[in-house]
Chain A
Amino acid sequence: MTQLDGFDRTLIDWLDEQAGHGMPGYLDEALARTIRTRQRPWWSSPERWLPMQSTLRFAPAPRIAWLLVALALTIALVSAALAVGSRRQPAPPFGLARNGPIAYTNGGDIVRFDPATGETTALVSGVEQDVAPYYSPDGQRFVFLRHAAGGGDVAATADADGRDIRILTAPLEDQRWWDWSRDGTRLAIISTVDGLHAITVANVDGSGSRALPLQMDADFVSWLGDSDRLLFRGRPLAGGTSGLFTVRADGTDLVPVSPDMGDDLGDYQAPAVAPDGQRVAFSAFDQAKWKSPTVGSPAGDWSGNLLQVHVLDLIKGTESVIPTAADPTSPELPVDQWSPRFSPDGTMLAFQVDRSDGTYQIAVAPSDGSAPPRPLGPSARNTAGEDASYEFSPDGTKVNARYPLEGVIWALPVDGSAGSKLPWDPSDLPTTQRLAP
């Protein structure tokens, strides 16, 4: 039993006194919210663990089948030769590209819709639960999360036609973030290891993966352009506040790249690296003044903590802030802007705009801060406990956004014109294949 000193006893008594003993009166209110909320499908779980099945067993073929096998091989060789001849050219690793087919999750399978032909094709199907596809920068492969019955949550890849499936990792808990290296040969993964976010680098040829021993909680990892370095948000286990760090992909040469902003809760949220690796956008709380463009002074003057999107130039060391939009629901108040994502050419940012009435909207703005944000698409409720996810299309003309609480996916033109609702399973954000321009 722990020996309590006088201070401990006083503290415990004080906590007990402060906590009170009355029953809160908002149970019905809370249950009214839960009953309106849809439960997640079990396979979307990062916490449901099953052992990995990474090998296939072949039944012995009867002798008479050898002729058929030979025939099939011949057909396969001819098909392969034709496929190589007609294979789409790889897209450049960054910059604008042509929009290709869209891959998405459909009931535990990966399916592709090709807008050019209107055809829908199953890419990965079978008894395993395969979810969350994400194309490589050159568009030649995609990674997905495999949850096999009797298996586990592993990162796997297939080529763009769903063939050549490779298991990349052992089971990893709570895989929540992936980033492809620009050459498409490696994948950086954030998962939970011993209760901490950790980076795993996996070889896409299936030859192995390795968790980086960083002695810190490491989140939001991105490759720094086409270099061998990774950028991430880290919080040292030894104490201190969160910051941005870079490290070589083998876990050596750890370098802090950001000043300590002294705010463990709000600094360096959701950093995203520009496609060329020279800038990083993130969100942070700033003590700032803000003046409403629609409400005159003094009612429109506001001072306090603003959650703003910052862009840090990693080469020059300079930092800029994206202008803050007015809140259409409370024009006298600024909004919170966060979770930025770069466009493929790095000229634009998409981010989430949280408003005073508890709703949010996706907005875009030039990444150099030269113009105010432009809101896109519908507003949505911001209470689901799961943030929206969004990314630019390869050609940079649209932002595909998933609204988790409403369970819808929208394709939102960045020029602010009307978007279109995509008809697919909203469990994950669809991914658009990059094609050579």
Chain B
Amino acid sequence: MQQELVERARRGDHDAFATLADAALFRLDATARLILRDPDRAKDAVQEALVRAWRGLPTLRDPERFDAWLNRLLYRAYIDEARRLRRHRVDVELTPIDLLASDDMTSSVTDRDQLERGFSRLEPEARALIVLHHYLDLPLPEVAAVLGIPLGTAKSRLHRALQSMRAGLDADARPTADVPEGRFA
């Protein structure tokens, strides 16, 4: 079904492309928001990726690879977005559209805060590695293909990124020196 839609979109059928975009939109938006840490920038990146996809569809060699190709376009779009973002860099809190209200919450508020800090400290490419592999559940060879880096490089960078997050969490968890009483004004 998807392959047929891709073929039609490649031939200029915009309705077919709209169906494909609708099916992919949540995944693209969630990925971009996780990596860019800013819903507005994420929206810009996703829209940019969809424009690039529509423009470039006639050039797609293998319609079966549409999802992987779209992931790659999105990655390029949010790297471009991150580049623009640097001009007015602000650390914007990510605002989830609909926070999961599960009874089976596995992470405490403290864990989430620490993860937030550790994740935000990473460069966008490292965040992309983690999101593509651990959130989208893409196998590492596909993550490497999306990022345009060799598999070995993807492995080592993912390892370093996770290590960096763990180290950050460990540091955050370390007890700080007591502040002598009476020092605060």
Q: Which residues of A contact B (CB under 8 A)?
A: 7-24, 26-27, 29-31, 33-35, 37-42, 44-49, 192, 194-196, 217, 237, 239, 263-266, 285, 304-307, 336, 354, 383-386
In contact, A8 and B55 (Cβ under 8 angstroms): no
Offer 17 A-B interface pairs, CB within 8 angstroms, sorted by A. A15-B130, A17-B112, A18-B33, A30-B47, A34-B17, A39-B12, A39-B56, A40-B59, A42-B59, A45-B56, A45-B60, A49-B61, A192-B148, A237-B153, A239-B157, A264-B125, A304-B88
Number of A-B contacts (CB under 8 A): 181
Q: A20-B30, A33-B50, A195-B144 are in contact. Are A307 and B87 (CB under 8 A)?
A: yes
B108 and chain A: residue at smallest CB distance = A10
B66 within 8 A of A: no
Cβ contact within 8 Å between B166 and A24: no
- Decide: A266 and B97 in contact? CB cutoff 8 A: no
Q: A34-B17, A37-B54 are in contact. Are A17 and B125 (CB under 8 A)?
A: no
A26 to B96, CA, bound (A): 15
Q: Is the CB of B83 within 8 A of A265?
A: yes
B44-66 interface code vs A (CB 8 A; 1 in, 0 out): 00111011111111111100000
B83 cross-chain contacts in A, Cβ below 8 A: 265-266
CA distance A48 to B61 in the complex (A): 5
Q: Is B171 an interface position by the 8 A CB rule?
A: no
Q: Is the CB of A12 within 8 A of B135?
A: yes
Determine the distance from Cα of A385 to Cα of B147 in the docked complex, in whole angstroms. 17
Shortest 5 CB-CB distances between A and B: which pairs? A45-B59, A22-B97, A22-B98, A19-B30, A20-B96
* Closest residue on chain B to residue A306 by CB atoms: B87
B interface, size bucket: 35 or more
Complex Cα spacing A336 to B83, Å: 11
A14 contacts B112, C-beta separation under 8 Å:
yes
Residues in chain B near residue A29, CB distance under 8 A: 47
B86 near A21 with CB under 8 A, answer no
| B124 close to A19 (CB less than 8 A) | no
Contact of B50 among A34, A46, A265 (CB under 8 A): A34
Asked if B26 and A23 make an inter-chain contact with CB atoms under 8 angstroms apart, the answer reads: yes
Shortest CB distance B124–A (Å): 7
Chain A proximity mask over B76-106: 1 for CB below 8 Å, otherwise 0: 0101101110111100001011111000001
Contact indicator B106/A265 (Cβ below 8 Å): no
How far is it, in angstroms, between the C-alpha of A46 and the C-alpha of B147 when the chains are bound? 17
A24 touches B150 (CB 8 A): no
B55 x A38 contact (CB < 8 A)? yes
B residues less than 8 Å from A266 (CB atoms): 83, 86
A305 touches B59 (CB 8 A): no
CA distance A264 to B128 in the complex (A): 14
CB distance from B42 to the nearest CB of A (A): 9
Contact mask for chain B residues 106-142; partner A; CB cutoff 8 A; 1 contact, 0 none: 1100011001000000011100001100110000000
Q: Across the interface, do A18 and B51 meet the contact criterion of CB distance under 8 Å?
A: no
> A15 contacts which chain B residues (CB < 8 A)?
34, 130-131, 134-135
Determine the chain A residues whose CB is within 8 A of the CB of B169 once the complex forms. 7
Are A26 and B47 interface neighbours, CB within 8 A? Answer: yes
Give bound CA distance, A48 to B58, whole Å: 9
Chain B residues whose CB sits within 8 angstroms of the CB of A217 once the complex forms: 148-149
- Give chain A residues whose Cβ lies under 8 Å from the Cβ of B130: 11, 15
Given A26-B47, A27-B21, A47-B61, also A18-B14 (CB < 8 A): no
Check A383 against B51 for contact (C-beta < 8 Å): yes
Closest-by-CB residue of B relative to A354 is B84
Chain B residues, Cβ within 8 Å of A263: 86
Q: Which B residues lie within 8 Å of A26 (CB)?
A: 43, 46-47
Most buried by A among B82, B83, B130: B83
In the bound complex, what is the Cα–Cα distance between A336 and B88 (angstroms)?
Answer: 11
Task: Evaluate contact between B112 and A44: CB separation under 8 angstroms.
Answer: no
Structural contact, B21 and A30, CB atoms closer than 8 A: yes
